[in-house]
Chains A and B, each alone.
Chain A
Amino acid sequence: MAAVVSWRFETSRVGISGTLGRIPAALRLVTRSRLGAFGLMIVVAFILIGIFGAWLAPHDPNAINVRARLAPPSWTNLLGTDQLGRDILSRVLVGTRVSLLVALSSILLAAALGILMGLASGYGPRWLDRILIAIFDTVRSFPTLMFGIAVIALFGPSIWTVIAIIVTTTFPIYARIVRTQTMAIKNTEFILAERSIGASPVRIAFVHVLPNIVGQLFILASMDVPVVIMIESGLSFLGLGIRPPNASWGTILNDGYAFVRNSPWPVIAGGVPLILTTIGFTFLGETLRDLLDPKLRNER
């Protein structure tokens, strides 16, 4: 009865999976709670702006107009201008795409890597499990920003370096969760039944274990998005992420920080989206988690 969309590999011809048909029902359940509805709204807005931001932007985000530098909000520049006269609103809108790109790709990659290694660890032989745990724990112990700085010092800053850093430091979290859930499911009767039928371990792992634990991953991912965006923004704020003149919330914050005495607007404009997305994703994630929690299901 999960409200979360669950996907599984289409491996047999019988019984077309009804999971796609369950999305409307899932959405309805999420929107029942006010927090969930609010969170969902923000998340959807984030995604839409991320995709269409460049077209929505009223001005060219990189157009320099020094005469109008650090202007307060006006009808032409709804959020004012930064130190080079660039329209902040446009930069925020375009920067959303960066955040979306970074968030989506790093989380997808981290989750994919985490799933593969978590499944192998949870379902495979014990020696493999021991090796993998050692890897997870070691990687997890790197302090993220320090690690990030070190990597960037080696490879130079770029959006791909940022993604690589995030994937490396977050995949163990996914792997750990997948591993624990796999181990919990491993000895349930239906897995035993599948083994009894003669299904191969790979099939069991992907067709039977994974769909049943993927719900937890959605929640984790949802809560992880703000963290990832923060990391990217943090790195960009330090000047180690997105290179100028490209816009990202972090660079807007960075620029604004230097000129905060002249105009508070850049900092506000760079910070508010961060706060909103964090709130939005967290609310959504918590609503999903509550929905998936069997103990809170009172309706029989």
Chain B
Amino acid sequence: MTGNAFKGLNVRGLSVDYQTASGKVHALRNVDLDVPAGAVVGIVGESGCGKSSLISSIIGQAPDNAQISGRIDFNHQSLLELPPDRMRDLMGQRISVVFQDPMTSLNPIRSIGRQMIDIQYRTGRGRAEKREYAIEMLKKVGVSDPADRMNQYAFQLSGGMRQRVSIAMALMARPDLLIADEPTTALDTTLEVQIIRLLKELQKEIGCSILLVSHHLGMIAELCDYVVVLYAGEVAEAGTVRDIFHHSLHPYTRRLLECDPGLIEKVTRRLPTIAGEIPNLLQISPGCIFAPRCDCAQQACLARRPPLLQLGPGRRVACHRAAELDAA
């Protein structure tokens, strides 16, 4: 546990534009997000929703042609204004990331043990201690024969193992915030549930916050306390996990839940879909960004941006018709 109490990650009005050959892509628009200390916040969104831009902006890895505006405060400290060396310190100790493809975080030409010992360079531990700690972390994430694994290389491990090692490495420093970007998308379902259980246990033990990005609704439902639904670069809806799954208000969230084949009770050959495609982010239309695909859109929806209705602490919906749809 870190010395000073962690005060959370707060994102306000985050907008990210990319300057490309075809024009300016407005990937993220005015996103607000809070990750309180010790909470698990999930970001639900499909392709094009802007989650990669969100993550890369937070961890300071946005590409060169990105123009970022807004605030990202970590522990009341602005990340966007942080010089690169301070950012690096932060990234190694207080913020950790687990990626979709574990090979991104694992160096293919160094042994697992070597990497796990190396990343402890900031601690004052001796070599033997570092090794012990690494083995203990491997044990904790359920890697069999941890002492032997230390000498193995990433390519010798299965996908599930690699992801566990990535999680072990991410949590070794006992960070305040763990960012997990689609950690199980590349894994089979039986492995996914093991990783979910692992994250749950570790989160309880270390008490870190987790920012989880996934389009697997089942994983979000199981792990998260709060959920933010992103659509085409905007926040469609936010609230507790029960608000989102049991009392969703935004038409996109509702339709998304309807489409999940796991939620469809009756066996059917015609599966529901959301017709249409995500809009072109070069030209943002004046109305609600989801209106072209929404089956309850009205004139007002196409004409004006929907207000962000604040329906309670942390409960937000961006929809003109949220109130009436709620009553229905």
CB–CB under 8 A between A and B in the complex?
A: yes
Contact with B along A271-300 (1 / 0, CB 8 A): 000000000000000000000000000111
Chain B residues within 8 Å of A300, by CB? 18, 20, 25
Contact (Cβ within 8 A) A298 B64: yes
Residues of A close to B65: CB separation below 8 A? 298-299
User: Which residues from B are CB-within-8-Å of A299?
Assistant: 18, 20-21, 65
Q: With an 8 A cutoff between CB atoms, is B63 at the interface?
A: yes
Given the complex, which residues of A lie within 8 Å of B63, measured CB to CB? Answer: 298
Q: How far is the CA of A298 from the CA of B21 in the complex (A)?
A: 10
Q: Which of B51-80 contact A (CB under 8 A)?
A: 63-65
State A298–B65 Cα separation when bound (angstroms): 7
Query: Which B residues are CB-close (under 8 A) to A298?
Result: 63-65
Q: How far is B63's CA from A298's CA once the two chains are assembled, in angstroms?
A: 7
Within 8 A of A (CB), among B29-53: none
Q: A132-155, CB under 8 A of B: which get 1 and which 0?
A: 000000000000000000000000
Number of interface residues of A (CB under 8 A): 3
CA separation between A254 and B291, bound complex, in Å? 77
Nearest chain-A residue to B63 (Cβ)? A298
Question: Bound state CA distance, A200 and B171, in angstroms?
Answer: 52
Distance in angstroms between the alpha carbons of A300 and B18 in the assembled complex: 8
Min CB–CB distance B304 → chain A (angstroms) = 30
Q: Who on chain A is nearest to B18 by CB?
A: A300
CB distance from B93 to the nearest CB of A (A): 29
Kindly provide the distance from the CB of A291 to the nearest chain B CB, expressed in whole angstroms. Answer: 13
Closest to B19 in A: A299
In the complex, what residue of chain A is closest to B64 when comparing beta carbons? A298
- CB-CB under 8 A from B18, the residues of chain A are 299-300
CB of B157 to closest CB in A, whole Å? 22
CA of A248 to CA of B267, assembled, Å? 81
> Which residues of chain B from 3 to 35 have a CB within 8 Å of any chain A CB?
18, 20-21, 25
> B310-326 interface mask toward A, CB cutoff 8 Å, 1 = contact, 0 = none?
00000000000000000
Assembly CA distance A300 to B62 (angstroms): 13
A193 to B21, CA, bound (A): 32
Give the distance to chain B from A64, nearest Cβ to Cβ, in Å: 57
Complex CA gap A156/B64 in Å reads 58
Within the complex, the shortest CB–CB distance from B130 to chain A, in Å, comes to: 33
Residue of B nearest to A29 (CB): B21
A299–B25 CA distance with the chains assembled, in angstroms: 10
Cβ contacts under 8 Å, B21 to chain A: 299
Chain A positions 58-89 with a Cβ under 8 Å from a chain B Cβ: none
Interface residues of B in 218-264 (CB under 8 A from A): none
Identity of the chain A residue whose Cβ is nearest the Cβ of B20 in the assembled complex:
A299
Q: How far is the CB of A293 from chain B (nearest CB, A)?
A: 15
Q: How far is the CB of B9 from chain A (nearest CB, A)?
A: 26
Shortest B3–chain A CB gap in Å is 39
A64–B21 CA distance with the chains assembled, in angstroms: 57
Query: What sequence of 0s and 1s flags, for each residue 161-179 of chain A, a beta carbon within 8 Å of any chain B beta carbon?
Result: 0000000000000000000
Nearest Cβ on chain A to B26's Cβ, whole angstroms: 13
Give the nearest-CB partner of B27 in chain A. A300
Shortest C-beta distance, A29 to chain B (Å), equals 9
Q: How far is the CA of A299 from the CA of B19 in the complex (A)?
A: 7
Say how far B52's CB is from chain A's closest CB, in angstroms. 10
Q: How far is the CB of A79 from chain B (nearest CB, A)?
A: 44
Q: How far is the CB of A2 from chain B (nearest CB, A)?
A: 15
- The distance in angstroms between the C-alpha atoms of A205 and B20, with both chains bound, is 35
Q: Give the residues in chain A near B64, CB-CB below 8 Å.
A: 298
Which chain A residue lies CB-closest to B66? A298
Give the shortest distance, in Å, between A122 (CB) and chain B (any CB): 23
Distance of B315 from chain A, by nearest CB (Å): 33
Interface residue ranges of B261-299 to A (CB < 8 Å): none
Could you tell me the distance in whole angstroms from the C-beta of A31 to the nearest C-beta in chain B? Answer: 15
In the bound complex, what is the Cα–Cα distance between A18 and B290 (angstroms)?
35
Q: Which chain A residues border B25 with CB–CB below 8 Å? A: 300
CA distance A298 to B64 in the complex (A): 7
Q: Which 6 A-B pairs have the closest CB atoms?
A: A299-B20, A299-B21, A298-B63, A298-B65, A298-B64, A300-B20
Would you list 10 pairs from A and B whose C-beta atoms are within 8 A, ordered by A residue? A298-B63, A298-B64, A298-B65, A299-B18, A299-B20, A299-B21, A299-B65, A300-B18, A300-B20, A300-B25
8 other contacts beyond A298-B63, A300-B18, with CB at 8 A cut-off? A298-B64, A298-B65, A299-B18, A299-B20, A299-B21, A299-B65, A300-B20, A300-B25
